[in-house]
Amino acid sequence: MLFLWLYMFYSCAGSCAGLTTRGSPAPPRAAPPLPPLPPGEPGEESSLEEQRAAPDAGSPISISSFFNGSGTKRLPQAIIIGVKKGGTRALLEFLRVHPDVRAVGAEPHFFDRNYERGLAWYRDLMPRTLEGQITMEKTPSYFVTKEAPARISSMCKGTKLIVVVRDPVTRAISDYTQTLSKKPDIPTFESLTFKNRTTGLIDTSWSAIQIGIYAKHLENWLLYFPIGQILFVSGERLISDPAGELGRVQDFLGLKRIITDKHFYFNKTKGFPCLKKAEGSSKPHCLGKTKGRTHPDIDQEVVQRLRDFYRPFNMKFYQMTGQDFGWD
């Protein structure tokens, strides 16, 4: 009888229940159809953090491990699903200051690369939480992974989703800059942008371009999740007003607004806000040297063509989300 009780208790602890999703707003008005795209799937992100080692999917979880340490390992109730080079690392680090948020540091890549390992493997990656705390993870490539929405919905239809978005042109240049830092001999940004520069045909099969077509990716998520269950965070406002954006995130997660202006200072050298005190530390903390890289000079004609290309997709995205991000 004791064993049965422990088994039932642990099974419940592993569920993603614990957060109630706020009521969904009325759906936005229908928007005009998006312009067609040439065929091409988004490429795999080339610079995501190395995932943390974990036991095999089929390894049993012992009762003794349940009692080791404080709290319980639970499946995440909230996930930062995107986007790459949008500001997801900053958001996660800021959120971890909150005493009721516990998050995985490394990107699990469960719903895109490791799904066959199973939910037991995934849950074992999670930090232990106490009653009332939220378990989170972030993997930016989920947003552009076709299978991710169905897989997350299958885990828990009530999972809260957060997407950090950024001007798609700036995001693409930042993406290229990151790759360039690792592969200095890659072709120029300008040559990768076009299938044919003479005709001005944009190469949407290049992942740096494809990721920024947010409206296309969002359509896939809305097949499985209501719009009110997804919070869209502005990467630009995360820099200019981190406390304001964190206030929205805390409200969305049902948390008390503990993270405020007093937690941040602006680092002029890096060009973005830093924490006065990081999680578990009394010292100031800025994101590492891989963040805030200087972008290469890009031909302004190419930049303008990209802005023209993204404009209808941005307008569609604004209508779908009910937010104007002011990217043009």
Distances (CA, A) of 197 to 60, 165, 190, 277, 305: 56, 27, 8, 48, 10
Q: Nearest 5°: phi and psi at 126?
A: -75, 150
Say whether 263 counts as a known binding-site residue: no
To the nearest 10°, the Cα dihedral for 169, 173, 176, 181?
-160
In contact, 92 and 80? CB cutoff 8 Å: yes
The 3-state DSSP class for residue 241 equals: coil
Q: What is the rounded CA–CA span in Å between residue 81 and residue 109?
A: 10
Distance CA 176, CA 208 (A): 7
Is 295 marked within a binding site?
Answer: yes
Cα-trace Rg, the chain: 21
Phi, psi of 308 (to 5 degrees): -65, -40
Distances (CA, A) of 307 to 168, 170, 196, 304: 8, 10, 17, 5
**Going along 88-190, which residue ranges are E strands?**
101-103, 128-129, 134-138, 160-165
Binding site annotation covers 86? yes
Tell whether 283 is in a known binding site: no
Does 292 appear as a known binding residue? yes
> Is 85 flagged in the annotation as binding?
yes
Please tell me whether 87 is known to bind a ligand: yes
Which of 73, 85, 160, 316 is the catalytic position?
85
Q: What whole-number distance in Å separates Cα of residue 229 and Cα of residue 46? A: 29
Q: Is there a binding annotation on residue 88?
A: yes
Task: Dump strand ranges (E) for 104-167.
Answer: 128-129, 134-138, 160-165
Does 73 qualify as catalytic in the annotation? no
CB atoms under 10 Å from CB of 235, counted, come to: 22
User: Known binding site for 3'-phosphoadenylyl sulfate: residues?
Assistant: 85-89, 166, 174, 291-295
Residues annotated catalytic, as ranges: 85
User: Known binding site: residues?
Assistant: 85-89, 166, 174, 291-295
